[in-house]
């Protein structure tokens, strides 16, 4: 054996992998003593009082506390002692606080009013939902659609184009090298997975680059595949969107009506090709809308291989496509303000992140007023070719319901999106705060950039964390010693509420104890998220990632809470969690 190898082995066997035993922090000891009236155990009645008064969980019953007591007692190694003791010891109470089923930071059930129009909700929305990776060369597939639905995404976007022989429909990102997938396959997967995570409606936004014949074919596919699951209005006049409750378990279609492609001047002038491509990105054109329109009027039909199928269908066929559309969509040409007319039928307006930011700087109140009744969809700018995302609050602050994200584009922005939709039981619909739905008593519209008084102060105490030694290899963070963890605690919301704090670094410990408290004054807590991230300090390289989560502050439960952490994609770790306390003053 070489000397170098012997040295490496020596270092390996001399690594410090001590396991420290975590004990209850002083706050837990004080609360235990207070609710046990100084006794050595906590009875079921005393536990119920703790749940009601400290955890502010009024729904717990005496039966619940008795069941919790038995659950914890029966987890003792010596079960024969469980019947002899009628309460929890301090250590058992401490371990109970780490149980996610009883001390989750959020409610697990739907609890918002679901009987308001769709325009009154933030909706979990995907962008180019069929892409497996970047916007230019990744494959198109139904797999990312399935994954999105399994995560609770409620709006799926499909870009529809004719295939090479113009007799079928492909889902593909236009004017790129992405490989297509059949529309039929995508629709079947949507049907199968639409309601595995949430029973509330799935909205399919179609970006339609089809010939009239293929529009009719798309209508036939949609109707046949979804059957009774498909919802569409029974009248052409739609002055209010349906409610999530009324269309539970249904599929809704949102796109431009066919007449906008065939009759609107915007698709017949020099800007037509630009206006018809993918919202915010470059798209391929097997055949442009202008070319289709010209050919349908008799130009070079035979030469280009178009036949009778590509000619304008009769009125019943066109009607079949149009009647399936529940949410009529449009992308503005010209100043955005000109399209914020709130009279007549309700509609969906699509804006790029840049368009929204520019418009909100000049007439944000008009945007908020528009979204009180209509829907705005915000999509990533075209330069985000790596499928990165923007900060979703640029849309949420102005009431935009469909803030569309690349669900394969991992990073902080996607963590915010995932955090927002952990609210309301993770059903994919979050009721907008009242100030985004209606005007204030002075009939003024909410302005997120206006400095408002502090509504509440959130106190966040980070006690400790564990689970890394279970979920990670012993050498994941450091080859020769335990990790050096610290926790970042941040507020993301309106500009006035932004804040970033972090704990001290705990060196060489798989079971770090920080015991630090931070205060966050909040002016608009209804739109704020609490971002929690654990990192492992490294003085020479970038700090290693140790877990994250984002939590909607409007739904945060008070008291001691077990906080499960997630990986960079948003998947929950099996064991890693923090013990924290939240208080509102």
From first to last of the 585 residues of the chain, give the pLDDT tens digit: 444 343 333 333 344 444 446 899 999 999 999 999 999 999 999 999 999 999 999 999 999 999 999 888 877 655 545 445 579 999 999 999 999 989 999 999 999 999 999 999 999 999 999 999 999 999 999 999 999 999 999 999 999 999 999 999 999 998 899 999 999 999 999 999 999 999 999 999 999 999 999 999 999 999 999 999 999 998 878 899 999 999 999 999 999 988 644 454 344 443 333 333 444 443 333 333 333 333 333 333 333 344 545 555 557 667 889 999 999 998 888 889 989 977 788 999 999 999 999 999 999 999 999 999 999 999 999 999 999 999 999 999 999 999 999 999 889 999 999 999 999 999 999 999 999 999 888 888 999 888 899 999 999 999 999 999 999 999 999 988 999 999 999 999 999 999 999 999 999 999 999 999 999 999 999 999 999 999 999 988 899 999 999 999 999 999 999 999 999 999 999 999 999 999 999
The pLDDT value recorded for residue 480 is 87
Closest CA to 172 of 208, 219, 213, 217: 208
CB atoms within 10 A of CB 577: 23
C-alpha 544/C-alpha 533 separation (Å) is 11
Determine contact, residues 552/124, Cβ cutoff 8 Å.
Answer: no
3-state secondary structure of 230: strand
Strand partners, 140: 131
Please give the torsion angle defined by the CA atoms of residues 232, 233, 235 and 241, in that order, rounded to the nearest 10 degrees. Answer: -140
The whole-number pLDDT of residue 307 equals: 52
Looking at domain 26-96, which CATH architecture does it have? Orthogonal Bundle (1.10)
Please identify which of the residues 112, 173, 209, 328 carries the catalytic annotation. Answer: 173
**Contact of 286 with 164, CB cutoff 8 Å:** yes
How far apart are the C-alpha atoms of 380 and 339, rounded to whole Å?
20
pLDDT of the residue at 259: 61
Distance, CA of 203 to chain centre = 15
- Of 407, 402, 421, the residue nearest 356 (C-alpha): 402
The residues near 231 (Cβ < 8 Å, ≥ 6 apart) are 201, 242, 247, 250, 251, 252, 326
**In 386-480, beta strands by DSSP E:** 402-405, 429-431, 456-466
Write down the H helix ranges in 331-424: 353-371, 393-396, 412-420
Q: How far is CA 174 from the centre of its chain?
A: 26
What is the helix (H) or strand (E) element at residue 379, kind and residue range? strand 375-379
pLDDT for the residue 256: 92
Task: Mark whether 328 is an active-site residue.
Answer: no
Considering the candidates 74, 86, 111, 127, report the single residue annotated as catalytic.
Answer: 127
Task: Tell me if 384 sits within 8 A of 356, measured CB to CB.
Answer: no
Q: Which tokens sit at 445?
A: 């519209």
pLDDT at 499: 97
What residues have CB less than 8 Å from 502, skipping those under 6 apart?
486, 487, 488, 489
For the chain, count helices (H), then strands (E). Answer: 17, 19
Q: Tell me how far apart the alpha carbons of residues 98 and 78 are, in angstroms, rounded to a whole number.
A: 21
Q: What is the pLDDT of residue 143?
A: 97
Task: Give residue 166's region: left, alpha or beta (phi > 0; psi -120 to 50).
Answer: left
Cα 311–chain centre separation: 42
- The CB density around residue 374, as the number of other CB atoms within 10 Å, is 22
Q: Tell me the domain boundaries of the chain.
A: 26-96, 118-436, 456-584
Q: Is 5 a catalytic residue?
A: no
Centre a 10 Å sphere on the Cβ of residue 9 and count the other Cβ atoms it contains: 11
The CA-atom distances, in angstroms, between 313 and each of 195, 201, 305 are 34, 31, 17
Which homologous superfamily is 118-436 in? Phosphatidylinositol (PI) phosphodiesterase (3.20.20.190)
The architecture (CATH level 2) of 456-584 comes to Sandwich (2.60)
> Cα–Cα distances in Å, from 480 out to 2, 12, 576?
20, 7, 21
Strands 429-431, 499-502: parallel, antiparallel or unpaired by DSSP?
Answer: unpaired
Residue 2 phi, psi dihedral angles, 5° rounding: -70, 160
Could you give the residue ranges of the DSSP H alpha helices within 132-265? 143-151, 183-193, 212-226, 258-262
DSSP states along 241-262: PPPTTTTTT-EEEEE--HHHHH
pLDDT of residue 74: 78
């Amino acid at each position: 054996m070489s000397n170098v190898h012997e040295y490496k082995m020596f270092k390996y066997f001399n690594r410090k992998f001590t396991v420290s035993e975590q004990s209850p922090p002083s706050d837990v000891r004080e609360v235990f003593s207070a609710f046990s009236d100084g006794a050595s155990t906590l009875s079921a009645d005393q536990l119920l009082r703790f749940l009601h008064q400290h955890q502010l969980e009024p729904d717990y019953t005496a039966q619940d506390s008795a069941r919790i007591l038995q659950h914890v007692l029966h987890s003792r190694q010596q079960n024969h002692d469980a019947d002899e003791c009628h309460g929890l010891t301090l250590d058992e109470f401490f371990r109970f606080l780490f149980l996610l089923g009883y001390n989750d930071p959020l409610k697990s059930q739907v609890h918002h009013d679901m009987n308001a129009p769709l325009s009154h909700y933030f909706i979990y929305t995907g962008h180019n939902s069929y892409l497996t990776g970047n916007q230019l060369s990744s494959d198109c597939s139904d797999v990312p659609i399935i994954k999105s639905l399994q995560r609770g995404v409620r709006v799926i976007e499909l870009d529809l184009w004719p295939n090479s022989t113009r007799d079928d429909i492909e889902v593909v990102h236009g004017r790129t090298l992405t490989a297509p997938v059949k529309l039929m396959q995508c629709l079947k997967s949507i049907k199968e997975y639409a309601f595995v995570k949430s029973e509330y409606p799935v909205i399919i936004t179609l970006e339609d680059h089809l010939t009239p014949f293929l529009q009719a074919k798309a209508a036939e596919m949609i109707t046949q595949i979804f059957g009774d699951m498909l919802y569409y209005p029974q009248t052409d006049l739609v002055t209010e969107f349906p409610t999530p409750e009324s269309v539970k378990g249904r599929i809704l279609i949102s796109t431009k009506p066919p007449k906008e492609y065939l009759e609107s001047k915007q698709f017949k002038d020099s800007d037509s090709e630009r206006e018809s491509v993918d919202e915010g990105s470059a798209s391929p054109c097997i055949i442009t809308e202008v070319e289709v329109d010209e050919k349908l009027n008799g130009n070079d039909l035979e030469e280009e291989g178009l036949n009778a199928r590509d000619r304008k269908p009769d009125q019943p066929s066109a009607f079949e496509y149009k009647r399936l559309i529940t949410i009529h969509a449009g992308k503005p040409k010209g100043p955005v303000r000109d399209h914020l007319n709130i009279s007549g039928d309700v509609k969906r307006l699509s804006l790029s992140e840049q368009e929204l930011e520019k418009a909100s700087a000049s007439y944000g109140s008009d945007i908020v007023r528009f979204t009180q009744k209509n829907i705005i969809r915000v999509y990533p700018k075209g330069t985000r070719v790596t499928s990165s995302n923007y900060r979703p609050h640029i849309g949420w602050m102005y009431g935009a319901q469909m803030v569309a994200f690349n669900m394969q584009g991992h990073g902080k922005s996607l963590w915010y999106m995932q955090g927002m939709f952990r609210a309301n039981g993770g059903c994919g619909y979050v009721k907008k705060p009242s100030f985004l739905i209606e005007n204030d008593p002075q009939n003024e519209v909410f302005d997120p950039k206006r400095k408002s008084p502090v509504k509440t102060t959130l106190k966040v105490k980070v006690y400790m964390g564990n689970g890394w030694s279970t979920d990670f290899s012993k050498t994941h963070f450091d080859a020769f010693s335990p990790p050096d963890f610290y926790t970042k605690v941040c507020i993301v919301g309106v500009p006035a509420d932004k804040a970033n704090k972090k704990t001290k670094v705990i060196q060489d410990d798989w079971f770090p104890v920080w015991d630090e408290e931070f205060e966050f004054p909040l002016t608009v807590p209804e739109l704020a998220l609490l971002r929690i991230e654990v990192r492992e300090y490294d003085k020479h390289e970038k700090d290693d990632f140790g877990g994250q989560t984002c939590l909607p502050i409007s739904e945060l439960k008070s008291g001691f809470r077990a906080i499960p952490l997630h990986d960079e994609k948003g998947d929950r770790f099996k064991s890693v969690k923090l013990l924290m306390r939240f208080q509102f003053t």
